[in-house]
């Protein structure tokens, strides 16, 4: 301004993208920290293996004549063999699921 009071005498303000900084586009991809896709299969594999190993151990101990302390009753062999069979099915299924992931 030269003192005349005319606003048109002032220098024009810059408008537009001349000073704008461009930010890189960042996309957030969800991370699977605990690998939840295979966690269920791993848990089922552990459950099936525990069923097989635990019931086989009970059958072997019963054959040797060793009984758990403070326990009454006999081992139900049919139930033990059923749980071994179920454990094998679960183990094979979970193992196949892990291999195909």
With 0-12 / 13-18 / 19 or more C-beta atoms within 10 angstroms meaning exposed / middle / buried, residue 91 is buried
Higher per-residue pLDDT: 34 or 8? 34
Checking 3-12 for CB contacts under 8 A at 24+ apart, the result is: none
Q: What is the pLDDT of residue 96?
A: 96
Q: What is the pLDDT of residue 16?
A: 57
With 0-12 / 13-18 / 19 or more C-beta atoms within 10 angstroms meaning exposed / middle / buried, residue 48 is buried
Q: Are 38 and 77 in contact (CB under 8 A)?
A: no
Q: What is the pLDDT of residue 35?
A: 82
- Residue 8 pLDDT greater than 70, yes or no: no
**Residue 79 is encoded by which pair of tokens?**
């139930």
What mean pLDDT is predicted for residues 7-32? Answer: 65
Q: What is the pTM of this model?
A: 0.65
What mean pLDDT is predicted for residues 13-20? Answer: 59
């Amino acid at each position: 301004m030269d003192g005349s009071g005319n606003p048109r005498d002032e220098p024009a303000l810059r408008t537009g993208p001349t000073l704008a900084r461009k930010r890189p586009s960042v996309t957030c991809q969800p991370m699977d920290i605990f690998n939840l896709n295979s966690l269920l299969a791993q848990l089922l594999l552990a459950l099936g293996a525990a069923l097989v190993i635990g019931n086989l151990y009970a059958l072997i101990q019963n054959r040797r004549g060793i009984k758990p302390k403070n326990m009454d009753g006999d081992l139900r062999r049919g139930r033990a063999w059923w749980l071994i069979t179920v454990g094998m099915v679960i183990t094979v299924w979970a193992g196949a699921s892990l291999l195909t992931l």
